[in-house]
Amino acid sequence: MADASARLRFWGVRGSTPTPTIENLTFGGNTSCVEIRTADDQCIILDAGSGIRNLGQNLMKEAEGKNIQAHIFLTHFHWDHIQGIPFFAPIYGPKNELSFYSGIQGRPLQETLEGQMAQPYFPVKFDQVAAQRNFRTINRNEVIELGSARIIPFDLNHPQGATGYRVEVGDAVIVYATDYEHGDPRCDENLRKAAEGADILICDSQYTPAEYETHRGWGHSTWLNAVQVAREAGARRLFLFHHDPVHDDQAMMRIAEDARMHFENAIAAWEGFVAVL
Ligand SMILES: [Zn+2]
Ligand SMILES: [Zn+2]
């Protein structure tokens, strides 16, 4: 690892589907993937959208042939959150150990992930990749401890369910809440509690309030709701996340400006942004 300070990096910020067009390159076209690196060098990855491919390349370069250990927490199994796994180079290294976590109960995690690489969808089956893989379904109220980090799951309101994560790294608190629609009182309360005093709140902001009117029930929220959550929870910094595929860079700049009028420390997350924790 290059330096010992804890940090967070956005590798994919787009929602729903990758959008690698020139109009989107300031904010980025890759789907959800966020890396958290602790001071004791735990590698915690939130979601495995197409952004995880570049993260994988970076981990391989950094490791210089040494083994890679990473912990991948999935919010849910919609394509934009798992589609990068087959292209995440560390899965092909026999010395690497990758642990997958999910808060979605029901169908076993391993079986669900194997599904996207079953033939004829991909030439290599997930049970044939070389890395050691661990699978763990997390129950509510369960806390995962990884070195100096604690990860606490909570339910989000989303079609077929989704899990948010509160990640405590030393004194810093990061809350990852994407693929979440406001309006369900229990889940809204979960999020506000989880986000209390967060240093960084990463929140689903797919729609503008006007767009939301025609997208009710689609499982996503607005930048306006995100700033309300940030204010009520007393979050220090808000990252708007899961940008709609139709929001090009100009639209994203307008959204970020609108959000900043309501919450000074609102930032529309962009690919490559690094926050020191
Ligand atoms: Zn999504
Ligand atoms: Zn989703």
Q: Closest-lying ligand to the alpha carbon of 14?
A: 1
Q: Closest-lying ligand to the alpha carbon of 80?
A: 1
Q: pLDDT by residue (tens digit) across 40-85?
A: 999 999 999 999 999 999 999 999 999 999 999 999 999 999 999 9
Please give the distance, rounded to the nearest whole angstrom, from the Cα atom of residue 3 to the centre of ligand 1: 31
The pLDDT value recorded for residue 1 is: 44
Q: pLDDT by residue (tens digit) across 103-148?
A: 999 999 999 999 999 999 999 999 999 999 999 999 988 999 999 9
Please give the distance, rounded to the nearest whole angstrom, from the Cα atom of residue 82 to the centre of ligand 1: 10
For residue 238, give the H/E element and its range.
strand 237-241
Please give the distance, rounded to the nearest whole angstrom, from the Cα atom of residue 240 to the centre of ligand 1: 13
Mean pLDDT of the chain: 96
Helix, strand counts (H, E) of the chain: 7, 14
Helix ranges (H only) for 91-246 are 109-115, 185-194, 209-212, 223-233
The pLDDT value recorded for residue 112 is: 96
Contact at 8 Å (CB) between 213 and 239? no
143 exposure class (CB count in 10 Å sphere: 0-12, 13-18, 19+)? exposed
Nearest residue to 209 via CA among 195, 196, 220: 220
Q: Give dist(CA 241, CA 202) in Å, integer.
A: 6
Q: Closest-lying ligand to the alpha carbon of 76?
A: 2
State in words which class domain 7-276 has: alpha beta
The pLDDT value recorded for residue 141 is: 80
Q: DSSP letter at 141?
A: T
Please give the distance, rounded to the nearest whole angstrom, from the Cα atom of residue 116 to the centre of ligand 1: 16
The pLDDT value recorded for residue 2 is: 45
Percent of the chain predicted with pLDDT > 70: 99
Q: pLDDT by residue (tens digit) across 4-47?
A: 689 999 999 999 999 999 999 999 999 999 999 999 999 999 99
Residues near ion ligand 2 (CB < 5 Å) are: 78, 179
Please give the distance, rounded to the nearest whole angstrom, from the Cα atom of residue 264 to the centre of ligand 1: 26
For residue 254, give the H/E element and its range.
helix 249-262
Q: Closest-lying ligand to the alpha carbon of 104?
A: 2
Contact at 8 Å (CB) between 198 and 173? yes
Please give the distance, rounded to the nearest whole angstrom, from the Cα atom of residue 180 to the centre of ligand 2: 8
